[in-house]
Amino acid sequence: MTHTPAQNQTAELTWRDGTLPVSTRFDDPYFSLENGLAETRHVFLAGNDLPARFTDGFHIAELGFGTGLNMFAALLEWRHAGFTTPLRFTSFEAFPMSADEMDKALAAFPEAHAIADPFLTEWAKGTRCIETRDLIAEIIIGDARTTLPAWNDAADAWFLDGFSPAKNPELWEQDLMAEVARHAAKGGTLATYTAAGFVRRNLAAAGFTVTRSAGYGRKRHMTTATKS
Ligand SMILES: C[S@@+](CC[C@H](N)C(=O)[O-])C[C@H]1O[C@@H](n2cnc3c(N)ncnc32)[C@H](O)[C@@H]1O
C-alpha cells in the first residue's frame, strides 16, 4: 500500500511499552526494537564511513526525519570528533511529530536526549530551519517525492530511513532513488538498514555502486552505496 501525504498531516502514533513510537499509519516502529541508537551508529554512521569522512561543512541528508534520533546521533559523533563548526543536516519528512512526541521518543536514549533541547525548543515554535551552536538543520516538510526534486543542494552522505520498503514503498521507488543520486555530492555515499532487492536495484539503476554488508542485530544485511 502506498501513502500519498496531504498537506499538514502529522505523525499518528502508538507507544510500545510506553517508550517505542510505532506509526499506526504505516504499522511500523520508528527504530529498532533492540537499541535504536546503536542501530543508527551501525547503519547510518558507520555505513557512510562516519565520523572518518567528516570535514568542515559536511552535509548529511535524510529521507524520513521521524524522531530526529539519526540527526542527534550524527551530532554526537560530530562533537566527539572535535568539530566546533556546524554540521549540516537536511531531512525530508511528510508526517512530522510534535516536539513533545520527539522528546518522549528520545528519552529512551539519554545521550541523544541530553543534546536535543535547543532544537526541540525551536521545533515547538514551528521553526523548521534551525541553527544551534554547531548544527544547521533544515527539515523540509512534505512528500519527499515532490520536495526532493525541488531541492537545490547536494549531500555528502545520505541516510535512507523510510519505514520498511514493504510498508512504505513510495519512499524507495526508482524515481526517488534517482533524485537521491542527483542530490549526492561527488564521492557521496548512502546507507540504509534494508537490503530489499528492489531497493538495491533502484539504487544501482540510479547510478550508485551498491554493496551489501552486515546488518544490525537480527537483520542479516544492510546496504551501502557510493555515487559512481
Ligand atoms: C523509520 S521513520 C524515520 C526515523 C527517523 N530517521 C528517526 O531518526 O527517528 C520513517 C519516516 O519517513 C516518513 N515518511 C514516510 N513517507 C514519506 C514520504 N512520502 N515523504 C517524506 N517522509 C515520509 C515517516 O513519516 C517517518 O517519519
Q: What is the pTM of this model?
A: 0.97
The whole-number average pLDDT for the span 82-105 is: 98
What residues are in contact with ligand 1 under a 6 Å CB criterion?
Answer: 5, 11, 30-31, 64-70, 92-95, 143-145, 161-163, 168, 170-171
Q: Is the pLDDT of residue 225 over 90?
A: yes
Distances (CA, A) of 103 to 39, 72, 161, 179: 19, 12, 19, 31
Query: What CA–CA distance (Å, rounded) separates 54 from 155?
Result: 12
The whole-number average pLDDT for the span 172-198 is: 97
Q: Using pLDDT thresholds of 50, 70 and 90, give the confidence band for residue 126.
A: very high
Contact 20, 34 (CB under 8 A): no
Count of Cβ atoms closer than 10 Å to residue 158 Cβ:
28
Q: Is the pLDDT of residue 4 over 90?
A: no
Query: What is the best residue among 163, 177, 192 to mutate for testing ligand 1's pocket, by most ligand atoms within 8 Å of CB?
Result: 163
Query: What is the best residue among 37, 60, 63 to mutate for testing ligand 1's pocket, by most ligand atoms within 8 Å of CB?
Result: 63
pLDDT of residue 12: 94
The whole-number average pLDDT for the span 102-112 is: 96
Q: Is the pLDDT of residue 5 over 70?
A: yes
Cell of 219: 537483520
Instruction: Report the separation in Å between the CA atom of 73 and the middle of ligand 1, taken as the mean of its atom positions.
Output: 16
Residue nearest to atom 19 of ligand 1 (CA): 143
pLDDT of residue 1: 66
The whole-number average pLDDT for the span 47-58 is: 98
Residues 25-39: pLDDT tens digits? 999 999 986 788 999
Q: Where are the alpha helices (DSSP H) in 83-195?
A: 99-106, 110-114, 117-124, 144-147, 174-182
Of 3 and 183, more confident: 183
The whole-number average pLDDT for the span 192-204 is: 97
